[in-house]
Amino acid sequence: MKDEIKKRYLFSKELVKKVGEKALDFYLNRENLNIEFKKGEHQDLVSIADKTIENIIKSELKLNFPNDGFLGEESGFDNIEQEFCWVIDPIDGTSPFLYGLHAWCISIAVLYQDKIVSGVIFDPVHNELFHAMKDNGAFLNNKSISTANAISLKDGLMGLGVSHRVHPNSFTPVMQNILLEGGMFIRNGSAALMLAYIAAGRLIGYFEPHINSWDTFAGILLINEAGGMTNNFMENDGLLKGNYILAASSKEIFDKLNDIRNLAVK
């Protein structure tokens, strides 16, 4: 079965770079895009770029892996009960993408029997491909990467994220306590990129009170393969319903963030 996983991992790396060229072209000509708000979400934008990139990915997968399941942000799920299932975010960071900021990417993950076994995150603006296959380490382009050697929130930058799907009270106490611990944070609008940055040693942690699986799965594998820790996102039907995400570069940082989160949700 390892050969089948590797086949999908290698295919993912080529596919994400291929669609990355198309996404970058959309980005450089974004003034021509039609922008819509997703139903009920005043800050959740979608464009023809998101839909086109997902359609290309879905078509390529149907052609090359016709029996695999699929879950995409824009088109929903199909045959997710299959042993292999692809989980896709065609453009993570749509708002930065549409506003001309550089914090967006394409995320492709592969599940095998409900376990994440392959993850790729491609940042076309900076030509950075973060990729990992289970039990094979994590990489940025051709270089092996690992998480930062941090034991305190003072030892680096946190990533934070939030959406209007949740009440601010599920987020602001965490932010406050990170600051009280002497930590500092960024929010760039792309959870997938911030998770990849943990794997690459650029951030020491990430928290968001609710997020979808397609935003996180590739990043979760990258972090675990790079030596970090994440919560069990799959519990409580995280695949379809989403979950909170807590990720860290080390056990010490994870435990500290978990304590902070537990205080916030009491």
d(CA 139, CA 221): 11
**Average of pLDDT values for 45-66?**
91
Whether residue 5 is predicted with pLDDT greater than 70 in this model: the reply is: yes
Q: What pLDDT digit, counting tens, does each position of 226-249 carry?
A: 999 999 999 999 999 999 999 999
Residue 73 annotated in ligand binding:
yes
Residue 259 annotated in ligand binding:
no
Question: 35 or 16: whose pLDDT is higher?
Answer: 16
Whether residue 44 is predicted with pLDDT greater than 70 in this model: the reply is: no
Residue 50 annotated in ligand binding:
no
**Average of pLDDT values for 4-15?**
98
Residue 260 annotated in ligand binding:
no
Residue 215 annotated in ligand binding:
yes
pTM of the model: 0.94
Whether residue 266 is predicted with pLDDT greater than 70 in this model: the reply is: no
211: left (phi over 0), alpha (psi -120 to 50) or beta: beta
Spell out the domains of the chain, with CATH numbers in brackets: 1-144 (3.30.540.10), 157-265 (3.40.190.80)
d(CA 257, CA 198): 14
Contact 73, 89 (CB under 8 A): yes
